[in-house]
Chains A and B, each alone.
Chain A
Amino acid sequence: MTIALATVDLGRRYMMNWALRNCTLEVPEGSITGLVGPNGAGKSTLLRLAAGISRPSEGSVTAFGQRANQNSTAFLNRVGYLDQDRPLYKNFRVEEMLKLGQKLNSSWDNSSATRWLVELEIPLDWKVSLLSAGQQAQVALAMCMGKRPDLLLLDEPMASLDPLARRGVKQMLLDSVTERGTTVLLSSHIVDELEEICDHLIILSKSTVQKSGTVESLLANHRVLIGPEVSARFDSVEVIASSTAGRQATLLIEGDPGPLSSEWRVLSPDLNEIVLGYLAKSSATRYRATGVRETSPDEERS
C-alpha cells in the first residue's frame, strides 16, 4: 500500500494555543478519507498544513514523499487544495475562470472541468458573483480538480450545498477517483455524508487524532453493550465511552468481548455512533447510544 499523505508528530500552534498536536497519520493512495470532528477540532489546520499553506510548529507532513511546500512546483502539481472560503474571482465569468485555470496550470484538463460544470447546469457565461453559494462551491471544486492533482485536500466541500448539489459534487469526486485513482482527503462534520463515499475515516477532536482506520474495520471492531451496571467490567476490550441510567449501563467498546452472560445485549453501532463515542471520550460529554442495531449473525460470520 502506497502512502499519499503522511504526518509525523505534526503540530501547529497559534500564539499560546495548539490548533493541532501529536498528529501522526497516513492516508493511503487511492483512498477517499474523511476527516470528521466538531468545529475547532483542527480539521482545517490539518488540511492547510498538508497543502503547505501553513507551516508546522513541530513535526512534519509529506505528500508522495515531498515535504508540503507552496513554493515547490513539483509539490503544487500533485496536490490540490480547496479552502473553506471557496476562493474565486467574483467578477470573472465562469468561462474566464476556466481560461485562467488553463493559463496557470500546465496539466489543466479543460474538457473535464467544462463537462462537470455543464453537467451541473452551471451557466458558463455568468459572472461568478451571480451564482448561488452552492454553484460557487461547485465551480471552486471544478477549478481545484481541473488541474488534475494526485491528492485532493478539500475543506468542507459540501457545506452549504443542497442535497442535489451535494450529489453532483460527490459524483464529480467519485468520477475522478474512478478514472485517475486520485487520493481524496475531505473534511465534514456530517458523518452520514462521509460514510457514503469514504473508505477511510479520521476522527479529530481536541486538536488531536482520536481514531483512524478503514470504515469497515471501525464498524467491525466496535460494539455497544447494554446490561446491568454492577457487572460492567470488561478486561479484554477497551471501553471508549459509557453511560448509566439507573442500574443499566451502556458501553461503546472496541474489541471482542467474548461470550457474555445473557443479561448483556450486544449491538452494532453505526459509524455516527462510533464517532460520537470518541468525541464523548475526548470531551467528557455525556454519551448516549442512539445509532445501534441488533448484530446479525451474518455479519459476525463475515
Chain B
Amino acid sequence: MIEFRLDRHSGVPSYRQIIDQVRHAIRLGILRPGDQLPTVREVVRQITINPNTVHRAYRELELQGLTEGRTGSGTFVCQSLSEVPSQQPKLAGQLETWIRRAHEAGLGTEAIEALFAEAMHAQKEVE
C-alpha cells in the first residue's frame, strides 16, 4: 500500500504528484504487480483533495499501462518499471555516504541538489 503526500507549494499539479509518487514507488519496488492502490475515497480522505483529480491521475496511470482498474474491486499495479538492478542498494549506500561527506564539508541541501542536478545535466550532454 502507498500513502500519498502533496506538496502544495511545489507548483507541480496535484494529479502529476500522485502519478509521480506511484511511478516512484513502482520503480523502488514499494509497489509490485498485483498490489492495490488506495481507493479514490481513501486518497481523498488522506490528503483532502478533489476526487476528480485522483480519478484523473489513476486514469493516466492506466493509460501508461502501469495499473489496471478492476470493476468493483479497485485499481491494481500490473507492470513493474525496469527491474530494480541488483546494484541499486550498494549505489544508494554510496550516495548516502557522499551526501554525508558533502554535509560535513559545509554544503547545504540546496547546494547539494544543485551539484547533483549539474552533474546529471553534464552526463546527459556526454550521452
Smallest CB–CB gap between B106 and chain A, Å?
Answer: 26
Which of B25-33, B38-46, B94-102 is near enough to bind chain A? B38-46
Interface residues on B, range: 10 to 19
- Judge whether B53 is part of the interface by a CB distance below 8 angstroms: yes
Q: Cβ of B8 and Cβ of A174 under 8 Å apart?
A: no
Q: Cβ of A196 and Cβ of B49 under 8 Å apart?
A: yes
Q: How far is the CA of A26 from the CA of B12 in the complex (A)?
A: 27
Q: How far is the CA of A177 from the CA of B48 in the complex (A)?
A: 12
Choose one: B11, B12, B13, B44; the contact of A175 (CB below 8 Å). Answer: B44
- Judge whether A300 is part of the interface by a CB distance below 8 angstroms: no
Interface of A is mostly: helix
Q: Cβ of A299 and Cβ of B51 under 8 Å apart?
A: no
- Judge whether B52 is part of the interface by a CB distance below 8 angstroms: yes
Interface residues of B in 3-19 (CB under 8 A from A): 8, 11-13, 16
Q: How far is the CA of A83 from the CA of B42 in the complex (A)?
A: 30
Interface residues of A in 184-213 (CB under 8 A from B): 195-199
Q: Which residues of B contact A171 (CB under 8 A)?
A: 44-45, 48
Q: Cβ of B11 and Cβ of A174 under 8 Å apart?
A: no
How many residues does chain A have at the interface if contact means C-beta atoms less than 8 Å apart? 25
Smallest CB–CB gap between B18 and chain A, Å?
Answer: 13
- Judge whether A167 is part of the interface by a CB distance below 8 angstroms: yes
Q: Cβ of A178 and Cβ of B11 under 8 Å apart?
A: no
Choose one: A167, A174, A195; the contact of B51 (CB below 8 Å). Answer: A174
Which residue of the partner chain A has the closest CB to B19? Answer: A302
Beta-carbon contacts of B34-63 to A below 8 Å, as 1s and 0s? 000000110011001111110000000000
Q: Are A167 and B48 CB-contacts (below 8 A) given A178-B40, A178-B41, A179-B41?
A: yes
Q: Cβ of A199 and Cβ of B11 under 8 Å apart?
A: no
Q: Which residues of A contact B12 (CB under 8 A)?
A: 296, 298-299
Choose one: B11, B44, B52; the contact of A31 (CB below 8 Å). Answer: B52
Q: Which residues of B contact A178 (CB under 8 A)?
A: 40-41, 44, 51
Q: Cβ of A296 and Cβ of B52 under 8 Å apart?
A: no
Chain B residues with a Cβ under 8 A of chain A: 8, 11-13, 16, 40-41, 44-45, 48-53
Given contact pairs A197-B50, A199-B50, enumerate 12 new A-B contacts (beta carbons under 8 Å): A30-B52, A32-B52, A171-B48, A174-B44, A175-B41, A175-B45, A177-B50, A197-B48, A293-B11, A296-B12, A298-B12, A299-B11
* 6 A-B pairs with the lowest CB-CB distances in the bound complex, closest first: A178-B51, A174-B44, A199-B52, A178-B41, A199-B50, A178-B44
Can you list 17 A-B pairs with a CB-CB distance of less than 8 A?
A32-B50, A171-B45, A171-B48, A174-B44, A174-B48, A174-B51, A177-B50, A177-B51, A177-B52, A196-B8, A196-B48, A198-B50, A199-B52, A270-B11, A298-B12, A299-B11, A302-B13
Chain A residues with a Cβ under 8 A of chain B: 30-32, 167, 170-171, 174-175, 177-179, 195-199, 216, 219, 268, 270, 293, 296, 298-299, 302
